[in-house]
Amino acid sequence: MLGRLMAASILIACSTARAETANLFTGAAPVVGVTGGQVVGADSPDGAVHAYKGIPFAAPPTGDLRWRPPLPPAGWQGILAATHFAPACVQALPPPGSFYQREFFHTTEPTSEDCLYLNVWTGARSAQERRPVMVWIYGGGFVQGSGSLDTFDGDALARRGVVLVTFNYRVGPFGFLALPALSAESPQHVSGNYGVLDQLAALRWVHDNIAAFGGDPDRVTIFGQSAGAVSTNVLMASPLARGLFQRAIVESGSAFGFFDRRPTLAQAEHDGADFARALGAVDPSALRAQPAAALLGAAGHIRAWPVIDGWVVPEDPPRAFGRGSENVTAVMIGSNDDEGTALLPAQSAAAFAAAARARFGDGADTYLRLYPTSDDAAVAHAGDRALSDELAAGSREQVHLLAAAGRAAWLYHFDRRAPGPDGSRYGAFHSAELVYVFGTQDSVSRPWTPLDRHLSDVMMGYWTNFAAHGDPNGLGLPDWPAYAPGSDVAMELGERIGPLPVPAPEAAAFFTPYLSRRLTAP
């Protein structure tokens, strides 16, 4: 393990006692004691923020540890230079020139199975400051993503008084392969949620270590977008996460929404058997001997998604929310106005109609009236509106359920059209809010305006106030009313910032009964 750590980071020999360095936050090389040893970070140019990159929070899940729950990291001697990001977990990166590659993946990011590392940004000057902590969970459909993308740089949020943490978790077949033989190896007789177990390991690391960075382990907010939002919902419903965080922000990934596929363990194991047969390697030892590239090549045989396994995810999350048995005291939930423009594949009007009838049965006529496709050219717009409306309805249903269970809850709707020549095509696309939340607009080549800078400033204020107090409101910000079941008010975040009635009421009326069946379906 030490050899891997030395390859990933510079190891500086130092005989200073851990107790003497754990609270040192001055100078160009702050040193902090964490699980496994000591780490040194790097200052921002003005010295206001200390960044620690590539800290191991678990042992490398390689060799015999592939498809096992993460183990604690091995210790090291001396001081680990946490000044560079670790590789992303193994994944197929977006094709060069594709929309999301241009928007987020500016370079070919190195990948490795040795990827369970996290990053911390803090402006604290003492471990006694007890600042609120925000832990980010990236999206990417559970097949892509990392905690080191430029969009997720934590400097701007750390300047708002929070300690910001990002981390990597296993994706694709490395993170979500379920197989009867793997379940047989498990003391809990389950498999398939290795990526979620990585998330839990990162949160346990935060709980045990974040105070040394000036953070408050009893004031942790998890937040995620898309697959990261689905993960946030899973963690809210998982008994294994109890006590690891207190608040949650769900961006474009409602527990009731289009993205929540909820496979059972039996379904995931069935897919895993197809995956193993495609590789010609049925038993775990033979699969663990396969090169990573071969596993990626067979990834189409499984659905990389959290599994309802009775242990990590005991039940469909909405059921837990309906009983009030979630792990939070306050939530913020919302979605974007054009979720499908950069996300949905092209399809014909006939295929759109057939999918609607297969999914909604007798309700398909109403659905097709709401989203007409007179010809193939209209399908893209219909698909975008349908997905956007369904995610908005799912967000409303979830925030309604949590508010009714006594949780402080806030609902938002982001509708700022992306500036630039492609703005009319993509609008407020899926993921568009991220550079506003993180204050990282300069990571994307778009003609940002003062309006965009102001909107980002407001959103960072809302997000960090929520992390600090469980309420997004604060001095100098437009008032954001808490969600109340009888009022159905969301906060519009766009060219206009202010409360508005929940958008698309007719669509919400269509989707809500369909979505609410999740509470009673077998």
Show me where the domains of the chain are located: 1-324, 329-344+388-522
pLDDT at 6 over 70: no
122 or 105, greater pLDDT:
122
Q: By percentage, how much of the chain surpasses pLDDT 90?
A: 80
Mean pLDDT confidence for 446-459: 98
Cut 0.85: pTM above it: yes
pLDDT in tens, 272-329: 999 999 999 989 999 999 999 999 999 999 999 999 999 999 998 988 888 877 899 9
Sheet of 42-43, strands arranged across: 42-43, 50-56, 117-122, 163-167, 131-137, 215-225, 247-251, 330-336, 408-414, 489-493, 497-501
Average the pLDDT over each of 77-91, 251-265, 406-420 and give the range with the smallest value: 251-265
pLDDT at 10 over 50: no
pLDDT in tens, 312-324: 999 989 888 888 7
The catalytic residues are 226, 339, 430
Per-residue pLDDT at 12: 37
Per-residue pLDDT at 22: 40
pLDDT in tens, 462-505: 999 999 999 999 999 999 999 988 888 999 999 999 999 877 88
Superfamily per CATH, domain 1-324: Alpha/Beta hydrolase fold, catalytic domain (3.40.50.1820)
Token pair, residue 513, equals 């009964």
DSSP reduced 3-state for 278: helix
- Angle, CA 423 vertex, CA 417 and CA 428 arms, to 5°: 35
In angstroms, how far is CA 431 from the centroid of its own chain? 11
Average the pLDDT over each of 61-75, 90-104, 120-134, 262-276 and give the range with the smallest value: 90-104
pLDDT in tens, 150-195: 999 999 999 999 999 999 999 999 999 999 999 999 999 999 999 9
Give 309's Cβ-side CA count (13 Å radius).
30
408 or 23, greater pLDDT:
408
pLDDT at 254 over 70: yes
DSSP letter for each residue of 286-325: HHHTS-HHHHHHTGGGS--S--B-SSSS-S-HHHHHHTT-
Mean pLDDT confidence for 108-116: 92
Average pLDDT, the chain: 91
DSSP letter for each residue of 346-412: P--HHHHHHHHHHHHGGGHHHHHHHS--SSGGGHHHHHHHHHHHHHHHHHHHHHHHHHHTT-EEEEE
- Angle, CA 11 vertex, CA 5 and CA 52 arms, to 5°: 80
Per-residue pLDDT at 448: 97
pLDDT band at 13 (very low <50, low <70, confident <90, very high): very low
Environment class of residue 378 by beta-carbon count within 10 Å: exposed (0-12), middle (13-18) or buried (19+)? middle
pLDDT band at 414 (very low <50, low <70, confident <90, very high): very high
Mean pLDDT confidence for 419-441: 96
pLDDT at 142 over 70: yes
pLDDT at 131 over 60: yes
Per-residue pLDDT at 258: 61
In angstroms, how far is CA 161 from the centroid of its own chain? 21
Phi-psi category of residue 97: left, alpha or beta, with phi > 0 → left and psi -120 to 50 → alpha? left
Per-residue pLDDT at 521: 67
Mean pLDDT confidence for 509-522: 83
pLDDT at 221 over 60: yes
pLDDT at 17 over 50: no
Per-residue pLDDT at 504: 83
DSSP reduced 3-state for 423: helix
Per-residue pLDDT at 238: 96
